[in-house]
Amino acid sequence: MACGVYGVLDREGKPILQHLYWGLKSLNHRGHQSHGFATYEGGLHTRRGLGIIPRIDLKGMEEWAAELPGHVGIGNVRYSTSGGLDKSSLLQDTQPVVAEASPGDWAVLSYNGNLVNALGLEEEVQAKTGIRCSCDSAALCWKLLMELRERKDLPEAVKACMVEVEGAYSAVIMLPGGRLAAFKDPHGIRPLCAGVSPEGGIEAFSSESIGLEINGLNLEFEVNPGELVEAGGGSFTRSRLLDRGRRLCAFEFAYFARPDSLLGDRYVYEVRESLGRSLAEEYAETLNRCDLIVSMPETADDAALGMHEASGLRWERAIRRHRYVTERAFIMLPQERRTILNKKVSILARRLSGKRVALIDDSIVRGDTMKEVIKRLKGSGAREVHVFVTFPRIVAPCFYGIDMATYRELIGASHTPEEVAEIIQADSVNYQPVDSYLRATGLPSEELCTACVTGRYPTPIAQSMADSARELLEEGAEEHRRIYEEEMLRGSGRG
């Protein structure tokens, strides 16, 4: 799940709902399917709903505050990569999830990621508790509670989870008494940072730094791979439990993270500008054929500026996003994606008639969006459309929280750039080279997960699943489910 997670604690005992609300609001780009809140004040209080976090007025905030009292809370905005996709399933699997063995014996979890061995975890939970989990977040929450009940120690319980659970998980948890903590998988695949208020009374965790900034909190640090961080003791208590080497998801820089968030020591927009400059240098000959640059709003706008600066070619903002059509097509269900494409952007036809266009976008996953946009550009009179892609060609599925979980859906997995251009009706498709992309992030290449563009996964079960699925596909087998679901069911005899 490429979700947004947030957790906040006020050491002076003041209500934290507004901090929680605005922190999640700033992260809503990471998940549109559902949202949820959990607070603690003498007991657990929860609220959940489908869609984006609603806009509420002062009276509405007062009503929410009565429903969600407390000086500590966690929340989540979700887009699913496991579990059912019907409305009842989406609502059931809305995070934060609660595991409760008895009154006063519970855990609440909000996480971002995806568990590769979720089925085995779900079977373990059911065998030991009788609870049947509907998604991987519930399984992880119950696993944590089981380990806490056995070990009576939070660091030991979290470490046991890290040893047995494979995948990506940046998690914020709340425990009885209003304890707040956060932890990351041993590779740190998904982002998660910690911050404090200037006076030090409020401590918070957020998927991105923007969630801290919107509440006037100072970024203190990025949670390390395999680290447990506990809040509320006057300062954060940090325990490095299991470190297998950082592998931050490379796709965060191109698409998921907000441009004003910090990843590593750079703002995301700075990386995207560098990616545009790199494309201009790599494909100077093709770019010289073009009359102007047009960007897909809004994740490619910064890259377009970089391309303009490097090439001198005019950046014409001839594709405009409808401000109040806020859905991100990539993280929508397939049938919803087809419906929204024509409604999300407008084309300024008069600016394109007779022009050869350099169209820049953050990525090509399935090709649906790009094909539709090119069709509209050429229908508006563009003579040629040359596509420049800031992210390298995606050739393998993601098992760590990005919903591109089969080879079949990835246009780049079975087609060369020339074939992709033919399919989407572009005059050329020009992908960012992998090495250039890695340099632009400012992070060492060994600290990034690039499985989707290299086929090399940081965890062993994921690598085995990808290799097995590729072999079966080459033998003519069909993909009916996400690969990690297909492989786990096959291995259990339930497929």
Strand partners, 46: 38
Confidence class for position 494, pLDDT limits 50, 70, 90: very low
For 294-349, write each residue's pLDDT tens digit: 999 988 999 999 999 999 999 999 999 887 766 555 445 555 555 666 677 889 99
Answer for the pair 184, 200: CB distance below 8 angstroms, yes or no.
Answer: no
- Provide CB contacts within 8 A for 231, sequence distance 6+: 7, 9, 180, 181, 182, 194, 203, 204, 205
Report the pLDDT averaged over residues 17-22: 97
Instruction: State the pLDDT at residue 41.
Output: 96
**Architecture of the domain delimited by 269-458:** 3-Layer(aba) Sandwich (3.40)
Backbone angles phi, psi at 46, to 5 degrees: -135, 155
Backbone angles phi, psi at 171, to 5 degrees: -125, 145
CA dihedral (291, 317, 211, 444) in degrees, to 10, reads 0
CATH topology of domain 4-246: Glutamine Phosphoribosylpyrophosphate, subunit 1, domain 1 (3.60.20)
- Using alpha carbons, list the distances in angstroms from residue 154 to 181, 223, 322, 465: 9, 17, 47, 32
Report the pLDDT averaged over residues 238-263: 96
For 445-479, write each residue's pLDDT tens digit: 999 999 999 999 999 999 999 999 888 878 777 76
Answer for the pair 316, 380: CB distance below 8 angstroms, yes or no.
Answer: no
CATH topology identical between 4-246 and 269-458 = no
Answer for the pair 205, 193: CB distance below 8 angstroms, yes or no.
Answer: yes
Confidence class for position 92, pLDDT limits 50, 70, 90: confident
Specify whether 3 is catalytic. yes
**Is the pLDDT reported for residue 353 higher than 60?**
yes
Position with higher pLDDT, 464 vs 481:
464
Task: State the Cα–Cα distance between residues 370 and 442, nearest whole angstrom.
Answer: 28
Report the pLDDT averaged over residues 359-363: 98
Single-letter amino acid code for the residue at 90: L
**Token pair belonging to 60:** 């509405």
Task: State the Cα–Cα distance between residues 442 and 470, nearest whole angstrom.
Answer: 32
**Is the pLDDT reported for residue 81 higher than 90?**
no
Single-letter amino acid code for the residue at 364: I
Position with higher pLDDT, 492 vs 272:
272
Task: State the Cα–Cα distance between residues 161 and 135, nearest whole angstrom.
Answer: 16
**Is the pLDDT reported for residue 1 higher than 80?**
no
Q: Exposed, middle or buried: residue 468 (CB in 10 Å: 0-12, 13-18, 19+)?
A: middle
Three-class DSSP labels, the chain = CCCEEEEEEECCCCCCHHHHHHHHHHCHHHCCCEEEEEEECCCEEEEEEECCCCCCCHHHHHHHHHHCCCCEEEEEEECCCCCCCCHHHHHHCCCCEEEEEECCEEEEEEEEEEECCHHHHHHHHHHHHCCCCCCHHHHHHHHHHHHHHHHCCHHHHHHHHHHHCCEEEEEEEEECCCEEEEEECCCCCCCCEEEECCCCCEEEEECCCHHHHCCCCEEEEECCCCEEEECCCCCCEEEECCCCCCCEECHHHHHHCCCCCEECCEEHHHHHHHHHHHHHHHCHHHHCCCCEEEECCCCCHHHHHHHHHHHCCCECCCEEECCCCCCCHHHCCHHHHHHHHHHHEEECHHHCCCCEEEEEECCCCCCHHHHHHHHHHHHCCCCEEEEEECCCCCCCCCCCCCCCCCCCCCHHHCCCHHHHHHHHCCCEEEECCHHHHHHHHCCCHHHEECHHHHCCCCCHHHHHHHHHHHHHHHCCCCCCCCHHHHHHHHHHCCC
Task: State the Cα–Cα distance between residues 97 and 80, nearest whole angstrom.
Answer: 14
Report the pLDDT averaged over residues 186-200: 97
Instruction: State the pLDDT at residue 474.
Output: 82
Task: State the Cα–Cα distance between residues 106 and 131, nearest whole angstrom.
Answer: 14
**Is the pLDDT reported for residue 66 higher than 50?**
yes
Position with higher pLDDT, 189 vs 81:
189
**Domains in the chain: boundaries:** 4-246, 269-458
Answer for the pair 30, 268: CB distance below 8 angstroms, yes or no.
Answer: no
For 143-174, write each residue's pLDDT tens digit: 999 999 999 999 999 999 999 999 999 999 99
**Is the pLDDT reported for residue 137 higher than 90?**
yes
Side-chain half-sphere exposure of 89, counting CA atoms within 13 A: 12
Strand partners, 173: 109, 181
**Is the pLDDT reported for residue 275 higher than 60?**
yes
Answer for the pair 467, 395: CB distance below 8 angstroms, yes or no.
Answer: no
Answer for the pair 408, 396: CB distance below 8 angstroms, yes or no.
Answer: no
Task: State the Cα–Cα distance between residues 186 and 439, nearest whole angstrom.
Answer: 24
For 370-385, write each residue's pLDDT tens digit: 999 999 999 999 999 9
**Token pair belonging to 66:** 């009565």
Instruction: State the pLDDT at residue 423.
Output: 98
Average pLDDT, the chain: 92
Report the pLDDT averaged over residues 39-58: 94
Instruction: State the pLDDT at residue 482.
Output: 67
Instruction: State the pLDDT at residue 495.
Output: 38
Q: Which of 3, 290, 449, 452 is catalytic?
A: 3
Report pTM.
Answer: 0.93
Torsion 67-72-78-82 (CA) sign: negative
Confidence class for position 480, pLDDT limits 50, 70, 90: low
**Is the pLDDT reported for residue 487 higher than 60?**
no
Task: State the Cα–Cα distance between residues 3 and 191, nearest whole angstrom.
Answer: 11
Report the pLDDT averaged over residues 197-205: 96
- The Cα angle at residue 325 between residues 4 and 361, in degrees rounded to 5: 75
Instruction: State the pLDDT at residue 341.
Output: 63
Report the pLDDT averaged over residues 65-94: 88
